[in-house]
Amino acid sequence: MESLRASIHLVTRQVPGLLVNSGAELSLNDLVDVDLHRVRSCIRELRQTGLNGNAVSSLNLLRDAELLPGWYEDWVLFEQSRLRQDRLRAFDIIGRESLARRDLEVALEASEAALELEPLYESAVGLLIQAQRQQGNNASALRAFEKYRTKLHEDMGLAPSEGLRRLVADVL
């Protein structure tokens, strides 16, 4: 408690108006921009209305969104995992809708961003292969499939789904 009191004292002196003390509750001033709030808002909007804004700005915001990197307390690990899953689903939405709009560059970026978070995310691999195929990059699509197939077998002892194999069947 003494450390908390000292920290609050220092913060209020160094950044006046940052904290709002309403008696039993201490909070940040409403004017403070919290990056996690922006990320959550972006994810919520994608889930509710789909991709009706700037896909590139959403991708950039979500790609760099990390919650307290370097912290390892249990509650932080849980919230980091939750944010990671939300980001994966958001990348999936961006990728699918971009692919449907034939915005192949954004679809590729979204699938690659998802695969940076989770290399065995089959949905993202499928989007990556479809976008590459639509660009006429069959060799890249096949390379992505083979990389995924090898990693999935090494890590899990599994084979890709029939749906994913169908995406490259005619190339093979």
User: What's the pTM value of the predicted model, to 2 decimals?
Assistant: 0.85
Same domain, 130 and 161: yes
The domain tally of the chain equals 2
Same domain, 7 and 53: no
- In angstroms, the CA 111 to CA 123 distance is 8
Same domain, 26 and 107: no
Confidence grade of residue 52 (pLDDT, cut at 50, 70, 90): confident
Coil, helix or strand for 50?
coil
Same domain, 103 and 134: yes
**The pLDDT value given to residue 170:** 92
How far are the Cα atoms of 13, 69, 108, 132, 170 from residue 115, in angstroms, in the given order?
Answer: 44, 19, 11, 15, 24
Q: Which domain holds residue 72?
A: 33-168
CA atoms within 13 A on the CB side of 84: 14
Same domain, 3 and 22: yes
**The pLDDT value given to residue 81:** 97
**The pLDDT value given to residue 103:** 96
> The CATH number of the domain where 50 resides is what?
1.25.40.10
Same domain, 5 and 38: no
Confidence grade of residue 50 (pLDDT, cut at 50, 70, 90): confident
Q: Which two tokens stand for residue 167?
A: 């995406």
**Which tens digit of pLDDT belongs to each residue from 65-76?**
999 999 999 999
User: 74-100 and 122-134 are packed helices; what angle lies between their axes, rounded to 10 degrees?
Assistant: 30
Percentage of the chain exceeding pLDDT 70: 100
